[in-house]
Structure 1
Amino acid sequence: MLIQPVADMLARNADHYLIPADLVANVQADNNLYHAFLVLTKIKYSKIPVLDRAGHFEGLISLPLITEQMLGFDQLNVDILMHKRVSDVMETDVKTVPDIDHLEATLHLMIDHPFVPVVTADHVFQGIVTRREFMKSFNFLTHEIGKQYDMIEKDFSTSEKAK
């Protein structure tokens, strides 16, 4: 559990965490892999959200998932990208958060992932929270918390000796 001063300071910047859905590159589940490959290559991201036509979150697609499909025994098969759909290979077991107020859950997920999808209970994709945006707030926190809260340094050496 986050201590209250940390939670308060992180919550101050919460409106900056979310990159809204309309600004996030994505593909649709029924797009072919060739289209997804072009989008990922053009935007220079390795992974993006997959949505249905109504804007519901379906999963994530990545360059490794696509290139795995192209690998043959002795050559790359690019033609297969025209015939397979994103839904055939996308990652569907994706952890999401319902909103940006779930700071601690989001922090835990960002340990292993560069971004966390924000998805409502009825699967509507709201956007993403990126590790980069969180790190900017964490940087602010580390520089400002002592100015805004009285910080008392504890001497842990005496408690360690008591054990």
Structure 2
Amino acid sequence: MPEDGVTALVVPLPEADRLLAAVAARFPDAVRPVPAHVSLLYPFVPAEALDDRVLAALAEVFAGQPRFGVELGECRRAGGFVSLRPTPEDGFTALTGRIRRRWPDLLPYGGRFGSDVEPHLTVALNTSDETAAAVEREIVPEFAPIRAEVGEAWLIGFQGGWELRRRFDFTG
């Protein structure tokens, strides 16, 4: 569970919410209480550092970003982690690249998985190998592939639960 005051930049994928709801219905502890998304940068700056300057820099990062389509079909599993990879991933890698150039000292997941993390939709997390295998084998095929139109990024913050702080529409 994140600490209060943590923020993140994510791209919401409401088209995948039904998949996560199906996983949560069967394996409630495998799904985080946050809408389906691809993370651009977690953790981002602490909530107390979100000022007009940071928000203006974010607006600049997302300015001119065109909408793009993706398909989430390739399922990956490692231990108790299950994810879907978006293809093409160019839109996500371009966004994360711009964010990382603006905030080079902020590493995805605090550097826990290296300085670069492939874009992914987390389907199940911190669960047993058996549960992860069941999610991959029995639930994901009912929903994948998922096609989505990506049109915005969200700044979210954790304060006892995740909440939307700001939306950045892609208008390019």
- Classify the TM-score, shorter chain: under 0.3
Which structure has the greater CA radius of gyration?
1
TM superposition score normalised by structure 2: 0.24
TM superposition score normalised by structure 1: 0.25
Higher strand proportion: 2
Higher helix proportion: 1
Larger relative contact order (Cα-Cα within 8 Å, sequence gap ≥ 6): 2
